[in-house]
Amino acid sequence: MRHNFFPAIAFSALAAIITPSCSEDKSYEIKPDEEPTRKKTILLYAVASNNLYSNLINDKHEMQLAAQNIDLNHYSMLVYEVVPNSQEYGDTPRLLELTRNSAGETEFVELKRYDRSIYSTDPERISQVIEDMQTLREADSYGLILWSHALGWSPFFSERDTRAEFPSVTTSAAGSNLSYTLEYGGDLPMNYSFGSDTNSQTGYTDKIDIDELAGAIPDHLFEFIWFDACMMSGIETIYEMRDKCDYFGGYPTEVFAPGMPYDLTLPYLLREKADMKGCAIEFFNYYAQNKYAQLRTATVAVIDMSELEPMADFCKRRYAGSKDAATYGLDYYSGNQRVAYKYYDFGQYTLARGSENEDDASEEEFRRLLDKLVIYRNATETEFTGKKLNLDEYSGISSHAYSDSQTGKAADYYRSLDWFKRVY
């Protein structure tokens, strides 16, 4: 998830910094035939019908600041948003576009409204919005930013019904993991893979699992996908997205609620060829050098998806016949969140999983492959919860420490993921 945490001392000052003073959203008639050919369209898909809504307002203002120096005739920034109830339009989901008005000011205008009966975490809605992006703002290339709460690969098993309440949940220690037992049985964390869409009429909050999310995104459409959400730079999520984009950006740990500083990062993305490394550097420096000491924590990574299969080949060889990894002393990135299992550093875990095939899957080869796969990675000395990180061995990616002995619904779900099928 993205955390709405600000130190009490700094809160008033931070609020003054990020409070937006932008124009109200407007509507206008869509005339696609009159639009110029676009070089790039980016869709930010924001599931903000939760406690992150104020951060979306701030992020949209940051985008307006960034767009002052961007050619919006040839580069389009779209925002799909579902938000809590407002007096103006309720909680109706909308597709907005960042434009420049006749006075030269940047503002968001409404392109389309959507039926609220379909959750924004429903694959049908995600696919529809992406299709609308292509139809309304066709471009030579596309980028996708997924914006909301998130929690890695841990499943939610959405039924997309109208339940107002969840079954009761109890927690218990289970070795190094946390087990969640529902009234109807099985191991299942009451959290989410991506998104947290609360319907104000039903009270039900829906999320989407990473295999469903990947299925909603067309293959080979996006130049990049960036998860501006917690814990999505995991090898399981990355591999599910392997055919969806050329480059992947995200954070293996939790991130503060403001997420990306779009006034600094958007110019690196909304260009003919996105500079993912430049975007990641700006994100990292914003937090690492923040004037508020309490905010000086960040992790980030950029993945070259063309290098995934060589890494998968290596892991299949490395894990073959190996014993379960000894996870004591490895960095883990899931903090205190209720995930199905701890998320360990992918590099540390892979090397800890000793192999009978070390001659055919050496540490030297792994490090070479990792440097090709992760084209940028950086982390502060401590992660979000204050835990120190081993920066020399930080891979920028998390991983589940799999064991054949793991049982329950979450374990069964893990075995259904493409990464498990590929390497175990």
Tens of pLDDT, residue by residue over 344-392, are: 999 999 999 876 556 778 999 999 999 999 999 999 999 998 999 999 9
Check residues 340 and 342 and name the one with the higher pLDDT: 342
Question: Domains, the chain, ranges and CATH?
Answer: 2-153+206-304 (3.40.50.11970), 306-423 (no CATH)
pLDDT at 401 over 80: yes
Q: Are 223 and 141 in contact (CB under 8 A)?
A: yes
Which residues, in sequence order, are CB contacts of 49 under 8 Å at separation 6+? 82, 83, 84, 91, 120, 196, 197, 198, 199, 200
Please count the CA atoms within 13 angstroms of the CA of 328 that sit on its side-chain side: 1
Q: What interhelical angle do 8-18 and 53-66 show, nearest 10?
A: 50
> pLDDT tens-digit profile of 50-83?
999 999 999 999 999 999 999 999 999 999 999 9
pLDDT at 192 over 80: no
The H-assigned helical ranges of 374-417 are 409-416
SS3 405: coil
Within 10 angstroms of residue 1's Cβ, the number of other Cβ atoms is 21
Tokens of 85: 């109830």
Q: How high is the pLDDT of residue 140? A: 98
Local confidence band at 90 (pLDDT 50, 70, 90 cut-offs): confident
Give the whole-angstrom CA distance, residue 139 versus residue 274.
14
Check residues 146 and 178 and name the one with the higher pLDDT: 146
Tokens of 150: 């998130």
Q: How high is the pLDDT of residue 13? A: 42
**pTM of the prediction?**
0.87
User: Quick one: CA dihedral 328, 334, 336, 339, positive or negative?
Assistant: negative
pLDDT at 416 over 60: yes
Range scoring the smallest mean pLDDT among 159-173, 217-231, 301-315? 159-173
Instruction: Quote the mean pLDDT of the chain.
Output: 85
Q: How high is the pLDDT of residue 158? A: 75
Within 10 angstroms of residue 113's Cβ, the number of other Cβ atoms is 12
